[in-house]
Amino acid sequence: MRKFQIFLEWQNIAKNGLTLNPPKDLPNPDAFTLNNFSRSWYWFFNDTIQSDKGSERTWSKIYIDALLTIVSFNASHLKRPYVNESLAVYAATKMYNIKGQEGAIVGSQAPWAEVYCLANGAKHVTTIEYQKYIITHPQMDFLYAHDLPLISKNIEHSGLGRYGDPIDPIGDIREMNKIHCLLKNKGLLFLSFPVGIDTVVYNAHRIYGRIRLAMMFEGFKLLKIFYSQNIVSEEHMFQVFNNASLADHYLFVLEKIG
């Protein structure tokens, strides 16, 4: 019954359609800031895709195999964004032994996460994106995100309209609820986003602090926290929640419960 309710609520939000022109000002500030328990900053983007004609990129088998060769020598030599966050993906998927498993990467401008997963033994990886890709590697495939309303590009962006998603104050929490429904029991979720003091940076992203982070983790058990290739203590995270200078991308390894 709960699963039905989750998807019914999302369907009602999705009826509003894609957001082609995100509002310049934060709509419904009280809802987005949890009645001012979250800060509100402004950093506006319009990265909606107006047309996908001629936008396809190709990730060939030769290209992916070349990246795998680089990782086989040194994972840190792979060209990637968010240097510390990226290495956290490699370290976490290696520690939690994804050999022989199939998984999905949600949101991918370059295939660094896919390559790290394959390097750590993943059997098959599906890339889910708003921009179309042609992928010819036999251990990879592509799904167009517009055809998959159950999955968002990056959770910290969900509901802000930056990438054309419907405006929704709890869009990120809905995505976590849907992921919880889709994962098998004890399935793993490797989740990375900015962590610090609770902030809505409209419409760029959210920063997750002690309030919203707890809401995001409902139905999951926290196993480990990574920063780059290092495991981070929960005590360190309490410092992050109180010190804006420590805000950064952290990766959480979560296990589905219930």
Domain residue ranges in the chain: 27-256
Task: Determine the Cα–Cα distance for residues 254 and 222; give it in Å rounded to an integer.
Answer: 5
Q: What is the mean pLDDT of residues 131-155?
A: 71
Q: Which residue has the higher pLDDT, 54 or 155?
A: 155
Please tell me the predicted confidence (pLDDT) of residue 153.
45
Cα R_g (the chain), whole angstroms: 18
CATH says 27-256 is which class? alpha beta
Pair 200, 32: CB distance under 8 Å: yes
250-to-192, 211, 219, 240, 247 alpha-carbon distances in Å: 6, 16, 20, 10, 9
Query: CA–CA separation, 126 vs 73, rounded Å?
Result: 24
More confident residue, 215 or 163: 215
User: pLDDT category, 187, cuts 50, 70, 90?
Assistant: confident
Residue-averaged pLDDT of the chain: 86
Mean pLDDT of 101-114: 86
Task: Tell me what pLDDT residue 10 has.
Answer: 58
Can you give the pLDDT at residue 144? 66
How do beta strands 220-227 and 140-144 pair?
unpaired
Q: Is the pTM of this model over 0.85?
A: yes
- Segment 16-65, tens digit of pLDDT: 667 889 999 999 999 999 999 999 999 999 988 765 554 578 999 999 99
Angstrom CA distances, 11 to 20, 130, 213, 233, stand at 18, 19, 24, 38
pLDDT at residue number 200: 97
The mean-pLDDT minimum among 30-39, 59-68, 79-88, 151-160 falls in 151-160
